[in-house]
Amino acid sequence: MKYFKSFLGLFGVLCLILLYSQGCDSHNKDDFFSKNKHHEMVTFNSEENVLQLVLVSNGKTILTGNLGVALPSVLKQPTKETCAPGGKDCWFEWGDFARLHVTAPETQDDNDNCVTVEWYSDYGRKLEDCFDLTEGVHWYGGAETKVQSWPIENVAREEAPYVTGDFLQPVQFGGVLETYWLTSSGAALHVDEATPLFTSWNTTHKDKFCIAAADRWPYEERKNVRLQYEVCIPKSGENFKDVHKRSLRKYYKLPTQIPDAKMLVY
Ligand SMILES: *[C@@H]1O[C@H](CO)[C@@H](O)[C@H](O)[C@H]1NC(C)=O
């Protein structure tokens, strides 16, 4: 009984200390909120064991997806996470296996409202991110295909190197392609041209549009594999056409002269 009483006393004192420290420590509260803000963009979902990306603009969800889906399953959860104050510039690490850098503009109207995602790995031979093909959201852009579908999500495609080819052959694309896609929800996705890119949609990963970097044929082997891309989403008052118009100008230059007529001769 005596022990029980002193236990209660100790418990009371501990409670007071806890209450006091919580009331005084507003610094911790700020950290908590900024962490949560960043967590809206990239969070680890422990139920599904995957790092998730959620891009929101003007109160609407523009693009969601899973990051690092080709990481070995024991490595799905980052071992280290470092975010600059404000949570708009974050590094995720999986030991020395892979690193992920995600940056977002400070506000929706800064910097064209584009989020950059950069993966680096010395050991992983494939880095892959998959975005959700959401009901009612359409995907446009990409490459020339034999069965040209508009929007493109209507015809699923096996994983294939994203290079020009002979579209009469299985899985190959035609003679024109760009590493650029646009969704009707307002996401303009541009993959850096230096990425040894593979794409697939609604095949290996059901209801997903996947981009992967891997250094296998037809790409050369390289020391480290990098997957780099940018996703631009609407600023205040913009619709998906506005995002497309400014993104095209950002990634592609318009012709400045009339092409040589020889280019049009068969
Ligand atoms: C993906 O393919 C399945 C058939 O395999 C189809 O039922 C489904 O609607 C497709 N998903 C999308 C988003 O088009």
In this structure, is residue 257 part of a structural domain?
Answer: no
Prediction pTM value: 0.83
Same domain, 12 and 121: no
* pLDDT confidence of residue 40: 64
Read off the tokens for 246. Answer: 């400014």
CA distance 108 to 91: 21
Per-residue pLDDT tens listing for the chain (266 residues):
444 445 444 444 443 444 333 333 333 333 433 444 444 689 999 898 999 999 999 999 999 999 999 999 888 899 999 998 887 899 999 999 999 999 998 888 877 899 999 999 999 999 999 999 999 999 999 999 998 999 999 999 999 999 999 999 999 999 999 999 999 999 999 999 999 999 999 999 999 999 999 999 999 998 999 999 999 999 999 999 999 999 999 999 988 999 889 988 87
What is the structure's pLDDT at 32?
37
Measured in Å, residue 208 CA sits from the centre of ligand 1 at 9
Rounded Cα–Cα distance for residues 19 and 148 (Å): 64
**Ligand 1 mutation target, pool 132, 135, 140, 206, most atoms within 8 A of CB:** 206
Q: Are residues 30 and 46 in the same domain?
A: no
Domain membership of residue 56 (yes or no) is: yes
Q: Which atom number of ligand 1 is nearest to the Cα of residue 135?
A: 13
Give the atom of ligand 1 at the shortest distance from the alpha carbon of 134.
13
Q: Are residues 95 and 51 in the same domain?
A: yes
Same domain, 188 and 97: yes
Residues 189 and 126 in one domain: yes
**Is residue 195 within 8 Å of residue 229, measured between CB atoms?**
yes
C-alpha 156 to ligand 1 mean position (Å) = 8
State how far Cα 119 lies from the chain centre. 10
Q: Which of 151, 244, 126, 167 is nearest to 202 (CA)?
A: 151
DSSP assignment letter at 222: -
- 76 plus 182 within the same structural domain: yes
Helix ranges (H only) for the chain are 2-24, 26-41, 240-251
Question: What is the number of domains present in the chain?
Answer: 2
User: Any idea what the CATH number is for the domain that residue 207 is in?
Assistant: 2.60.40
Ligand 1 shell residues, CB under 6 Å: 133, 153, 156, 202, 207
pLDDT at 216: 94
Strand spans (E) along the chain: 42-45, 50-57, 60-67, 80-83, 89-94, 98-103, 114-121, 126-132, 139-143, 157-161, 177-183, 188-191, 197-201, 208-214, 225-232
Task: Please list the residues that pair with 89 across neighbouring strands.
Answer: 103
Check whether residue 110 and residue 234 sit in a common domain: yes
Domain of residue 19: give its range: 1-35
Give 202 Cα–ligand 1 centroid separation in angstroms: 6
